[in-house]
């Protein structure tokens, strides 16, 4: 099939590369000339495992191309994915200006019937707004579908190539048949392609992310209770997660959720409900709990130094909101760093992939080390914020030698408290105490 994907961010780039991999002719379009020029050289604008080989291979095979001419890409396609950003407005609602601008371009270049698929995360009613915008500029018949993405940053290629389900809101049987054919190569193992009405598909995306955000925030609050009563959240998590009604995913306590999806989507769902006179008190509590959780590591460090952080040098491992990505949007690490700087501390940081993307947020106010151990020398504590694999089994003897004080505050519960205690560290994690062994 001839496919256009408008937008080359996390979603658009993954969608385009994966559809090309299954034999489709794909044009990825974006107005950012520098990004398109880099992509033509297979230089990725994001850190996403497995993406660069797909882009390189499919460009060489002639199935994937990148262009700044959105109108031409639309004209050359039978299916158009809208995958541009929907950043939050000041009131938390999704900003649809870019989505509607693409719809306008589609309408102006509708030279034959097409299927238009909203892939961006958009509030209920957006597909109809897209339809209305296209209709203003064409009398050619077309279909609109809503196909929300469920890609995890750091595993987006795997999630697209082997989805646990594909959700599509459709307006006709004809559109459903075409979409089913497009996705058939990804569903050979029998995972479901779920067709539904368009509003239900639009809500499904927000509801899924809000549910996962709720699980994370719930477990973070249970972790706080564990610390207060002397329990071990690692054992509590196992006890909960083995209940088939609950399951183990998204029950790891940590420094709060971040990234491009959960914070934005929780806000947008709350705003959508408010606009329709529905109160989502649970999600307001989730949002408040997460804001509070992002201060947990700072509060732990402040307690260890009796509130006196001014003039101290502290090391932070991890800037990305999660491992295997360079995305620092709403990252708990940035919240920690801002609090430390405000308290007068000097901060040294390391991240395997996100240092470059974090620079525009940190603005030269921290020292960025090229290697993880380079952030430690002379620092009075190490805070671990992102669960990168290279942080999971470090050389603790070297860490102890480099730190001026053997203090580790671990926001991801990567290490064994008993082992760290035997090595002479003060080790403070989430929802566990030194008195609680892990087994």
How many Cβ atoms sit within 10 Å of the Cβ of residue 308?
A: 11
Nearest residue to 407 via CA among 326, 306, 327, 264: 306
Closest to 417 in 3D by CA, of 293, 228, 231: 231
The three state secondary structure string of 323-381 is CCCCCCCCCHHHHHHHHHHHCCCEEEEECCCCHHHHHHHHCCCCEECCCHHHHCCCCCC
- Chain-centroid distance, C-alpha 25: 28
Which of 370, 307, 395, 371 shows the shortest CA–CA distance to 344? 307
| Token couple for 79 | 């299916």
Q: Which of 142, 183, 145 is nearest to 162 (CA)?
A: 183
CA dist 140 to 113, 143, 177, 241, Å? 6, 10, 20, 52
Asked if 261 is an active-site residue, the reply is yes
Q: Which of 145, 226, 261, 436 is catalytic?
A: 261
**Cβ neighbour number for residue 353 with a 10 Å cutoff:** 19
In this structure, the number of other CB atoms found within 10 A of the CB of residue 437 comes to 13
Residue written as tokens 């995913």? 249
Query: Of the candidates 98, 117, 215, which has an alpha carbon nearest to the alpha carbon of residue 166?
Result: 117
Task: List residues with catalytic annotation.
Answer: 261
């Amino acid at each position: 099939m001839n496919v256009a994907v408008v937008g080359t961010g996390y979603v658009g780039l993954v969608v385009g590369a994966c559809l090309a991999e299954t034999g489709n002719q794909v044009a990825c379009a974006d107005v950012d000339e520098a990004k398109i020029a880099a992509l033509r050289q297979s230089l990725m604008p994001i850190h996403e495992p497995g993406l660069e080989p797909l882009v390189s291979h499919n460009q060489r095979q002639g199935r994937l191309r990148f262009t700044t001419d959105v109108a031409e890409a639309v004209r050359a396609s039978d299916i158009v994915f809208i995958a541009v950003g929907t950043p939050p407005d000041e009131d938390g609602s999704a900003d649809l200006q870019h989505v509607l601008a693409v719809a306008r371009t589609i309408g102006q270049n509708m030279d034959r019937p097409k299927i238009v698929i909203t892939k961006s995360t958009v509030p209920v009613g957006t597909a109809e707004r897209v339809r209305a915008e296209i209709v203003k500029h064409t009398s050619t018949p077309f279909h609109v579908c809503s196909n929300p993405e469920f890609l995890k940053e750091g595993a987006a290629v795997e999630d697209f190539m082997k989805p646990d389900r594909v959700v599509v809101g459709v307006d006709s049987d004809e559109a459903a048949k075409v979409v089913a054919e497009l996705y058939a190569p990804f569903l050979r193992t029998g995972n479901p392609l779920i067709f539904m009405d368009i509003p239900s598909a639009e809500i499904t995306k927000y509801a899924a992310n809000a549910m996962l955000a709720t699980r994370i925030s719930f477990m973070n609050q249970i972790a706080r209770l564990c610390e207060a009563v002397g329990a071990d959240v690692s054992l509590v998590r196992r006890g909960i997660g083995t209940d088939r009604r609950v399951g183990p995913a998204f029950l790891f306590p940590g420094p709060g959720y971040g990234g491009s999806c959960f914070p934005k989507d929780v806000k947008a769902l709350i705003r959508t409900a408010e606009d329709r006179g529905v109160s989502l008190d649970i999600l307001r509590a989730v949002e408040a709990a997460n804001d509070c959780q992002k201060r947990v590591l700072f509060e732990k460090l402040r307690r260890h130094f009796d509130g006196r952080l001014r003039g101290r040098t502290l090391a932070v491992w991890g800037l990305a909101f999660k491992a295997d990505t360079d995305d620092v949007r709403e990252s708990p690490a940035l919240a920690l760093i801002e609090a430390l700087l405000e308290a007068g501390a000097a901060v040294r940081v390391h991240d395997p992939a996100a240092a470059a993307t974090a620079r525009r947020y940190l603005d030269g106010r921290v020292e960025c080390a090229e290697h993880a151990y380079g952030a430690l020398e002379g620092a009075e504590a190490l805070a671990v914020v992102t669960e990168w694999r290279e942080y999971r089994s470090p050389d603790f003897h070297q860490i102890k030698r480099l730190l001026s004080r053997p203090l580790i505050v671990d926001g991801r519960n990567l290490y064994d408290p008993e082992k760290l205690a035997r090595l002479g560290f003060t080790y403070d994690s989430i929802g566990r105490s030194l008195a609680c062994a892990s087994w």
